[in-house]
Structure 1
Amino acid sequence: MHVIVTGGSSGIGLAIAKLYAARGTRVSLLARHSGRLDQARGELTAISSVDPSHIQIASVDVASASQTLEAVGLCERTFGPCDILIASAGIVEPSAFDAMPAAAFDEQITTNLLGTANVVRAVYKGMKARRGGKIMMISSGAALIGIYGYTAYCASKSALAGFAEALSAEAGVSGVRVTICFPPDTLTPQYRREMSMRPAEAELMMGAVKPWSADAVAARIVRGLDRGKARIHFGLSLTALAYFGPLIKPPLMWWFSRKMRKITGQGQEVSLVDAVDGGFDRGK
């Protein structure tokens, strides 16, 4: 079996790659930075059960359709057709919309949405011809509700949900399974950078909920793929938003708007989710 992972040099992508590599699967890691890819390959080959010849890397910017097609083609010529695609490459640059440079907005849309489409396109035709294969798109809990300072990120990750649903309708008749997941805050290098930029208003809304580990998120994703799930959720609050969003979101957004108007800097503010249900955890 051949698994291709974009964003495979760190975070959730790397954690998923480790799980498949430990099973003896051939794994191709795709990411932009060659140095980080070398380190990631070293981490995978350090696993005692992993055959180093079953790991390969390719430096590519998934925002480029031509680069992505070329890199995937190279990986498939070496390890055979892609059986499972993990589209994990993504970026986040939180900032209020009117303070966000247009280039930063565009980059998030391009990488998170178009980058996913590019790598899916690169494997999809072959999967259809073979009448089999799995595609996993890594979205975000931010796709389920609008968050202050995350206009570009929420837009790009929400769009993935529509993309996955529509593609699933097309792919099902060919035996290709399309899955999407909506992880919570996850301890990754990108998350640590994101936290240094996250607006205080977003913290008010999201609360101080302990993030998940990348290993825990990866384990749930792989387990969901093994079971053939179409959508994978994490924690009570994100699951509730996914299934009951039209009922839940209006009071949540009303509460947030009211709180924003009344912030005085006195006392300790509670998070949006804490105010609604007494503190259901976004990440467990």
Structure 2
Amino acid sequence: MHVIVTGGSSGIGLAIAKIYASRGDRVSLLARHPGRLAEARAEIASLPGSDSAWVQTASVDVASADQVSASIESCEVSFGPCDILIASAGIVEPGTFDTMPPSVFDEQVSTNLLGTVNVVRAVYRGMKSRRGGKIMVISSGAALIGIFGYTAYCASKSALSGFVEALRAEAGIHGIQVSICFPPDTLTPQYRREIVVRPAEAEILMGSVRPWSAETVAARIVRGVDRGRAKAHFGFSLAVLAYFGPLIKPPLMWWFSRKTRKIAGKSRPKPAEGADEGFYHDK
């Protein structure tokens, strides 16, 4: 079996690749950084049950449709048609909407949404002709609710839900399984970079839940693929939010709004003596 994993040089993607490699599957890792890919390949090759001859890498920016098409074509020439695609590549750069440079916003949409579309497109025609294949799109728990400081990330990840739902309607008649999952905060190199610049307001919603390990998240994703699940959620709170969001989110966002106003009030400069303080009063 040939498994292609984007974002496979670290984090959840690498953890997933390790599972499939340990099963004896052929694994292709796609990511941007050649050095990290080389390290990932060596790490996988050292695992019991894996064979270095069945692990290959390709340096590619998933936001480029041409690069993706060429890389996946090369991978399929070496290891055969793609049986399973894990679309894991993604980036996050927190920041309030008005302070975020357009290039930073656009990059997150290009990588997280269009990058996923590009890799799915690259394997879809072959799966359709063979009338079989599995696609797992990795979204985020941030797709389930708007989070302060994550306008670009929430937009790009929530858009994947609509894409997958529509694609599943088309793909099912051709024997292709299309799934999506919504991981929580996960202990990855990207998470460790992100948490340093995460806004305090976002911590109100996100910081109360301990991050999951990449290995635990990966195991649940692979199990979801094995069992043909259309969606995979992680933990009670995210599952409830996914299924009962329309009921839960209005009071939750009202509570969140009150909390963020308090934070904003504390961060405002103290008015000069004798000035009108009404503007700064936190109601």
TM norm. shorter chain > 0.5: yes
Show the counterpart of 1:16: 16
Q: Which residue in 1 is equivalent to 2:177?
A: 177
CA drift of 1:208 comes to: 3.1
Q: Does 1:237 align with 2:237?
A: yes
Task: Report the counterpart of residue 66 of structure 1 in structure 2.
Answer: 66
What are the within-5 Å matches in structure 2 for residues 20-59 of structure 1?
A: 20-59=20-59
Are positions 1:260 and 2:282 aligned together? Answer: no
Residue 165 of structure 1 deviates from its aligned partner by: 0.3
Q: Deviations over 1:223-264 (max 9, x none)?
A: 111111000000011000100000000001011112222346
| C-alpha separation in 1, matches of 2:261 and 2:33 | 43
Say whether 1:213 aligns with 2:207.
Answer: no
Task: Give the corresponding residue for 1:92.
Answer: 92
Question: How much has 1:205 moved relative to structure 2?
Answer: 2.5
SS of the residue corresponding to residue 97 of structure 1 reads coil
What does residue 276 of structure 1 align with? Answer: none
Aligned to 2:98, the other structure's residue is in SS state helix
**Identity fraction in percent:** 74
Structure 1: which amino acid aligns with 2:88?
Answer: S
Mapping for residues 123-202 of structure 1, pairs under 5 Å: 123-202=123-202
5+ residue gaps, structure 1, are 266-284
Give TM-score scaled by structure 1 length: 0.92
- Using the TM superposition, give the Cα deviation of residue 51 of structure 1 relative to its aligned residue in structure 2, in angstroms: 1.1
Partner secondary structure for residue 28 of structure 1: strand
Paired positions, count: 266
Measure the CA separation in 2 of the matches of 1:156 and 1:198: 18
How far residue 204 of structure 1 moved from its aligned partner, in angstroms, is 1.8
Letter in 2 for 1:26: R
The answer on 1:108 being equivalent to 2:142 is no
Deviations 1:191-225 (A, max 9, x none): 00000110011012323321000000000000111
Report which of the two structures shows the higher radius of gyration computed on alpha carbons.
2
- What is the one-letter code of the residue matched to 1:206? M
- Unaligned 5+ segments in structure 2 are 267-283
Aligned-pair RMSD on alpha carbons? 1.1
How far the C-alpha of 1:171 sits from its partner, in A, is 0.2
Structure 2: how far apart are the matches of 1:83 and 1:238? 29
**In 1, Cα distance between the equivalents of 2:205 and 2:136?**
29
Distance 2:216 2:155 in 1: 26
Structure 1 residue 61 displacement after superposition: 0.4
Q: CA deviation at 1:49?
A: 1.2
SS of residue matched to 1:99? coil
Q: Distance in 2 between matches of 1:62 and 1:262?
A: 40
In 1: Cα distance, 2:119 partner to 2:26 partner: 18
Q: Quick one: distance in 2 between partners of 1:55 and 1:223?
A: 21
Once the two structures are superposed, residues 144-179 of structure 1 have per-residue CA deviations (whole angstroms, 9 ceiling, x without a partner) of: 000000000000000000000000000000000000
2:110 and 2:154 map into 1 onto residues whose CA distance is 13
